[in-house]
Amino acid sequence: MGKIAIFPGSFDPFTIGHESIIKRAIPLFDKIIVAIGYNSAKSGYFPLEKREKWIRAIFEEESTVSVATYEGLTAEFCKKVNAKYILRGLRTAADFEYERAIGQMNKMLDQNIETIFMLTKPEHSPISSTIVREVIRHGGDASQFVPKQIDLSK
Ligand code: ADP
């Protein structure tokens, strides 16, 4: 079956920081599933369908990268798709503290899961979906922070 990883997140929207982590992880895994987590009680800034469509377009040429959506526990979704690895990006010490707790909790929920962290490239460390949304909300041009396949105006 090979090494299957999921890259979970809200991707609201997907940024060049996310893209960079996935591209660098492609040689490490047989399959990477970009897993968009959602909460049916709380809609995101961009509709789920749009986030999914954008990510599909970005990795159209990458045969080992696929996109899925899930609700609920990430550990449960891993079981469903037979993934043993959770890929996450680390930008700052604050990310580390947050990710440490989630990673350790996921390990307690399922001993088979390993969380793999990749350090962001320095030029991507200030980029977050939250700040990109703020730029958009205030009428700024956020195009430099997202992959070229994403047209934020549509
Ligand atoms: P979440 O809603 O779970 O925080 P995000 O969509 O914000 O999800 O991020 C998904 C993953 O991508 C997380 O591991 C996060 O640390 C990582 N990430 C976010 N922005 C960047 C970036 N600029 N560079 C590298 N990794 C990033």
Q: Is residue 53 part of a domain?
A: yes
Measured by CA distance, the residue closest to atom 15 of ligand 1 is 89
Instruction: Residue 126: give its domain's CATH number.
Output: 3.40.50.620
Q: Is residue 152 part of a domain?
A: no
Q: Are strands 65-71 and 85-90 parallel, antiparallel or unpaired?
A: unpaired
| Domain carrying residue 134 | 4-145
| Ligand 1 neighbour 128 (Cβ under 6 A) | yes
Q: Is residue 125 part of a domain?
A: yes
| Ligand 1 neighbour 117 (Cβ under 6 A) | no
Note the pTM of the prediction, 2 decimals: 0.95
Helix (H) / strand (E) element for 50: namely helix 48-58
What tokens appear for 116 in the block?
Answer: 């793999």
Quote the ligand 1 centre to 32 CA distance (angstroms): 15
> Does 129 qualify as catalytic in the annotation?
yes
Please count the other Cβ atoms lying within 10 Å of the Cβ belonging to residue 51: 25
Quote the ligand 1 centre to 18 CA distance (angstroms): 6
> Does 18 qualify as catalytic in the annotation?
yes
Look at residue 6 in the predicted model and tell me its pLDDT.
98
> Does 23 qualify as catalytic in the annotation?
no
Look at residue 19 in the predicted model and tell me its pLDDT.
98
| Ligand 1 neighbour 74 (Cβ under 6 A) | no
Q: Is residue 153 part of a domain?
A: no
Q: What share of the chain is helix, strand, coil (3-state, %, to 5)?
A: 40, 25, 35
Q: Is residue 151 part of a domain?
A: no
> How large is the greatest C-alpha to C-alpha distance in the chain, in angstroms?
46
Tokens 């997907």 appear where?
A: 14
| Ligand 1 neighbour 106 (Cβ under 6 A) | no
Name the catalytic one among 20, 51, 88, 129.
129
* Number of domains making up the chain: 1
Q: Is residue 32 part of a domain?
A: yes
- pLDDT tens per residue, the chain (154 residues)? 799 999 999 999 999 999 999 999 999 999 999 999 999 888 899 999 999 999 999 999 999 999 999 999 999 999 999 999 999 999 999 999 999 999 999 999 999 999 999 999 999 999 999 999 999 999 999 999 999 999 988 6
